Amino acid sequence: MKDNVPIIELKNVSKTFGGVVRALDSVSIAIYKNEVVGVVGENGAGKSTLMKILAGVFPPDSGEWYYTGQKLTFPKNPKEAVERGVAIVYQEKGVVPALKVYQYLFLGHEDKYSEFFRLKTNEMKKYADEMLKEFHIDCDIENFMYELSPSTQKMIEIAKAILSLRLEYGSDNTASVVILDEPTAPLTVEERQDLFNYILKMKKATSFVLVSHIMHEVLEFTDRVYVLRDGKLVAHYNLSEDKITENDLFKAIVGKEFVEELHATQTGRNVGDEVVLVAKNLTKKGSYYDVSFELRKGECIGIFGPAGSGKSEIIKTIAGILHFDKGVLAVKGEEAKSGELPHVRLTKGVGYFCGRTEEQLFFNWSVRKNISIVNMEKILRKPLPVINFNTEKQVTEKIMQKFRIKTPSVDTDCQSLSGGNKQKLSVGRWFERRPDILLLEDPTIGIDVGAREDIYEAVLEMKNEGVSMVLVSDDPKEYSTLCDKIIFMKSGRVEKVLNALEFKEAIVT
């Protein structure tokens, strides 16, 4: 904060949707030069609306926009926003995998580098190369995007945003803002660290607005934090002066205490003696080797390790999505052969849930259909395969209440639900079905703390009632909240097995 005049200041911004829903209520924020500003809040708190106003997606109903102290109108479209120095990197926009790095960097800006319809490829390459060097991105301009790791891809996306600012807005002007909407959602723990190191380096070139659900990221890497709740600005912390903890931030966001801590004390209870799943020397070449463990009734085992450690492949193998080369897998004393598909495993009692909802849900369907498709056996008029629509509605409503899924009705399109509600819906479907073994892969990826708590509560309820679980995630806290036993994986091999308490100590140190 060398300058006292903010680059961009929004004053008393309000936005109403459909005349009823007040998405933003008189919110004011300021962004200064060379800083990282965090914006946090639950889903539906107004973060996205605020970011979209900043990025020019739509203007607010009322409010003022100041640019280095000068009053201007709101940008009418994203291009105008870029011309005023604001660019956005969306959470899910993604890269174009088939393009080379330099092609992707200049995508949309080819006009500036062409003469008579011919692209000045050499100049583009030269500039792209300079940018990669300047931003210390470790890849070659001739690499294809799909060859890069997810974190490098994200870095290139950020570089692209900065490049577009430079091209459209002025090459040396550092009075610009790049909005990062949950940049770390698709990344693993190590990749997140890389990305933030990069962002901290980039601070000298531009300012950042970081939208994130991950508290410690926000506390560690931002200079100031704005907290939104129900469309209002409820708190503003200057992290260099205010000493606040994750718990403080959590309270500001949801207005209640952590429930996670309560659950942590419950580990190890209600674990039965009956072994429901046995893996013996499971091997899938190139992914994991000689993995053995036993899962008991009501127990939750976590498989922990960095990306590429084989944890994701193991859980997918148990689900029947991938297949193993060697070893033995047995479900409830019955051997499960390698080529079995998910529906066969499901008849044996193995259900799989992944937090990446686009793989799981039917977006063009209503909430009701999404739930009933998994619980078909419950809603049929036995013995006929005919659906009883009343039972269907009852089952749906029960799950929606249980998981506090917020929708106008059971017939609302799944597409229109917020990320957190989609995820709750996706887990909720299994709640009624109750498989004996539930496989959880990244169950709370990319959702806010409130929704996360709801999911933990339901998962723990199932566990207490005797459902066994296997968890794979990127969030160490999730393991300590849910698991009784944690298997550490490294390069495809089991390194050690810890119980919940040992694990807690291990991740603290």
> Would you tell me which residues interact with other proteins (CB under 8 A)?
319, 321, 341-343, 346-347, 351-352, 354, 359-366, 369, 372-374, 376, 380, 385-387, 389, 413, 429
Q: What is the CA radius of gyration of the chain?
A: 25
Least distance (Å) between residue 190 CB and other proteins: 27
d(CA 63, CA 12): 5
Half-sphere exposure of 124 (CA within 13 A, CB side): 23
- The structure tokens listed for 303 are 């498989």
Nearer to other proteins, 351 or 443 (CB): 351
Nearer to other proteins, 142 or 413 (CB): 413
Q: How far apart are the first and last CA of the chain?
A: 34
Nearer to other proteins, 167 or 321 (CB): 321
Nearer to other proteins, 1 or 386 (CB): 386
Least distance (Å) between residue 419 CB and other proteins: 16
List Cβ<8 Å contacts ≥24 apart for 102-111. Answer: 102/128, 102/129, 102/141, 102/142, 104/145, 104/156, 104/160, 105/131, 105/141, 105/156, 105/159, 105/160, 105/163, 106/163, 107/160, 108/164, 109/163, 109/164, 109/167, 109/168
Nearer to other proteins, 246 or 436 (CB): 436
d(CA 459, CA 100): 43
Least distance (Å) between residue 260 CB and other proteins: 27
Q: At which residue do the structure tokens 């193993």 appear?
A: 324
315: left (phi over 0), alpha (psi -120 to 50) or beta: alpha
User: Which parts of 203-297 fold into alpha helices (H)?
Assistant: 215-221, 246-254, 260-264
Least distance (Å) between residue 352 CB and other proteins: 6
Q: Is 402 in a helix, a strand, or coil? A: helix
Nearer to other proteins, 23 or 319 (CB): 319
Least distance (Å) between residue 52 CB and other proteins: 21
Nearer to other proteins, 189 or 373 (CB): 373
Least distance (Å) between residue 393 CB and other proteins: 14
> Could you tell me the strand order of the sheet in which 70-72 lies?
21-31, 8-17, 62-67, 70-72
Nearer to other proteins, 302 or 351 (CB): 351
Please say whether the beta carbons of 470 and 301 come within 8 A: yes
Least distance (Å) between residue 365 CB and other proteins: 6
Nearer to other proteins, 19 or 172 (CB): 19
Least distance (Å) between residue 374 CB and other proteins: 5
Nearer to other proteins, 146 or 363 (CB): 363
Nearer to other proteins, 319 or 460 (CB): 319
Please say whether the beta carbons of 181 and 88 come within 8 A: yes
Nearer to other proteins, 392 or 453 (CB): 392
Q: Is 405 in a helix, a strand, or coil? A: coil
CB count in 10 Å sphere of residue 119: 14
Please say whether the beta carbons of 120 and 113 come within 8 A: yes
Least distance (Å) between residue 223 CB and other proteins: 41
Least distance (Å) between residue 361 CB and other proteins: 6
CB count in 10 Å sphere of residue 384: 8
Least distance (Å) between residue 466 CB and other proteins: 20
- The structure tokens listed for 373 are 């498709």
Q: Is 232 in a helix, a strand, or coil? A: strand
Q: At which residue do the structure tokens 């890849």 appear?
A: 139
Least distance (Å) between residue 27 CB and other proteins: 31
Distances (CA, A) of 275 to 292, 299, 494: 13, 10, 20
Residue 135's φ and ψ, nearest 5 degrees, are -95, 5
Torsion of CA 489, 495, 497, 503, to 10 degrees: -70
